[in-house]
Amino acid sequence: MMSVGILFGMLFGIHWESLSFHLLGIAMLLESEAVESFTPLTFDYNTQVVVVGTSLLGFAGGAIGVLLLLRKRALIGDAIAHATLPGLALAFFVATALQIDGKSLWVLLPGAAITGLIGAMTVVAIRTFSPIKEDAAMGIVLSVFFGAGIAMMRIIQQMPDGYAAGLEGFIFGKTASMRFQDAWLIAVSGATIIGLLVLFRRQVELMCFDESLARTQGWPVTLVDIGLMAATTTIVIVGLQAVGMILIIAMLVIPAAAARFWTWRLWPTIATSSFIGCIGAASGAIISTMAPRVPSGAAIVIVLVILFSFSALFGRKNGTVWRWARRYQQRRETDQQHLLRSIYEWLELKGSKPHDFGQTRSESFLLNDLEFVRNWSPLRLARTANRFQRDGLLLQLSQNRWALTATGIQQCVRAIRQHRLLELYFAQIANLSPEAIDRGADYSEHALNDQMLAELERDIAGASIGYAVPDSLHPIGNVQSLNHQSRNEANP
Amino acid sequence: MQTPWITMDYWLDGWIVVIAILASVSAAILGNFLVLRRLSLLSDAISHSILPGLAAAYLLTANRYSWTALIGAIAVGLITVWLTELIGQYGRVDEGASTGIVFTGLFALGLIMIVQAADRVDLDPNCVLFGDIELSPLDSIVTSIGVIPRSAIVLTVCLLLNTLFVVLLFRLLRIATFDPQLATSLGVSPRVLHYALATLVAITSVCSFEAVGNVLVVTMFIVPPTIAFLLVNRLPMMILASVGVAALAAVVGHLSAVAVPLMFGYKSTSTAAMISVVSGIFLALAILFNVKTGVMVQAFRRNQLAWSILRQDILALLFRDSERGQAARSLRDITTTLLSQSWITAMALRGLVWRGYVTRVNDQTSSQASSSSNSTVGYTLSNDGRRHAQNLVRSHRLWEQYLATTGTQLDRIHAQAETLEHFTNPALRQQLDSETQQPQSDPHGKAIPPEEK
Amino acid sequence: MAISIRAMTVAYQRKPVLWEVNLDIPTGKLVGLVGPNGAGKSTLLKAILGMVPTIGGSVSIFGLDYQDVRSRVAYVPQRSSVDWDFPATVRDVVTMGTYGSAGWFWPLTKRERNRAHEAMEQVGILDLANRPINQLSGGQQQRAFLARALAQQADLFLMDEPFAAVDAATERAIVDCLRRLQELGKTTLVVHHDLHTVPEYFDYLVLLNVRTVAVGPMAETFTDENLQRTYGGRLTILDEVSEAIRRREAARP
At residue A13, the pLDDT reads 37
Residue A482 pLDDT > 60, yes or no?
no
What does the alpha-carbon distance between residue B95 and residue A69 come to, in Å, rounded to a whole number?
10
Task: Tell me, rounded to whole angstroms, the distance of Cα B369 from its chain centroid.
Answer: 53
Of B366, B350, B432, give the one whose Cα is nearest residue B399. B432
C121 and C129 Cβ atoms separated by less than 8 Å: no
- The answer to whether residue C106 neighbours chain B at the CB level (below 8 Å) is no
- Distances in Å between the Cα of B166 and the Cα atoms of A278, A383, B220 are 46, 53, 17
What does the alpha-carbon distance between residue B280 and residue B276 come to, in Å, rounded to a whole number?
6
CA-based nearest distance A453→chain C, Å: 10
Residue A419 pLDDT > 80, yes or no?
no
The percent of residues in chain A predicted with pLDDT above 70, rounded, is 74
C49/B184 CB distance under 8 A = yes
Break chain B into its structural domains and give their ranges. Answer: 10-291, 298-435
Quick count: other Cβ atoms within 10 Å of Cβ A461? 16
At residue A176, the pLDDT reads 64
C70/B186 CB distance under 8 A = yes
Residue A467 pLDDT > 70, yes or no?
no
What tens digit of pLDDT does each residue of A257-296 get? 999 899 888 889 999 999 999 999 999 888 887 877 788 8
Average pLDDT (A206-223) is 77
C88/B187 CB distance under 8 A = no
pTM of the model: 0.80
Strand, helix or coil for residue B141: strand
- Distances in Å between the Cα of C137 and the Cα atoms of A25, A129, C46 are 57, 21, 26
CA-based nearest distance A356→chain B, Å: 44
| Helix (H), strand (E) at residue A323 | helix A320-349
- The answer to whether residue C248 neighbours chain A at the CB level (below 8 Å) is yes
Q: What is the DSSP string of B223-245?
A: HHHHHHHHH-SSHHHHHHHHHHH
CATH match of B298-435 with 1.10.1740.10:
no
- Distances in Å between the Cα of B218 and the Cα atoms of A144, A172, B35, B203, C226 are 9, 19, 11, 14, 58
Quick count: other Cβ atoms within 10 Å of Cβ B153? 16
Neighbour-count burial of A297, counting CB atoms closer than 10 A to its CB (0-12 exposed, 13-18 middle, 19+ buried): buried
Residue A483 pLDDT > 70, yes or no?
no
- Please list the ranges in chain C whose pLDDT falls under 50: 233-237, 253
Chain C residue nearest residue B175, CA to CA: C96
At residue B4, the pLDDT reads 44
Contact residues, chain C, for B169 at CB < 8 Å: 104
What does the alpha-carbon distance between residue A327 and residue A479 come to, in Å, rounded to a whole number?
23
Model-level ipTM above the cut of 0.85: no
CATH level 3 topology of B10-291? ABC transporter involved in vitamin B12 uptake, BtuC (1.10.3470)
Q: How many CB pairs under 8 A join A and B?
A: 211
At residue A12, the pLDDT reads 40
Q: Do domains B10-291 and B298-435 have the same CATH topology?
A: no
Can you list the domains of chain A with their CATH numbers?
Answer: 2-317 (1.10.3470.10), 324-490 (1.10.10.10)
pLDDT in tens, chain B (453 residues): 344 445 567 778 888 999 999 999 999 999 999 999 999 989 999 998 888 888 888 778 766 667 788 888 889 989 999 999 888 888 778 888 899 999 999 999 988 888 777 666 566 666 677 777 877 787 778 777 778 888 888 899 999 999 999 999 999 999 999 998 888 888 888 889 999 999 999 999 988 887 888 888 999 999 999 999 999 989 999 999 999 999 999 999 999 998 888 888 788 888 899 999 999 999 999 999 887 778 888 888 888 888 888 888 888 888 888 888 777 788 888 888 888 788 888 888 888 888 888 888 875 544 454 444 454 678 888 888 888 888 888 888 888 888 888 777 777 888 888 888 888 888 888 888 888 877 777 877 788 888 877
More confident residue, A46 or C162: C162
At residue A2, the pLDDT reads 43
At residue B424, the pLDDT reads 82
Q: Which residues of B touch C (CB under 8 A)?
A: 36, 38, 168-169, 171-172, 174-175, 177-179, 181-182, 184-188, 229, 232-235, 237-238
What does the alpha-carbon distance between residue C136 and residue C142 come to, in Å, rounded to a whole number?
9
Task: Tell me, rounded to whole angstroms, the distance of Cα A206 from its chain centroid.
Answer: 21
More confident residue, A237 or A157: A237
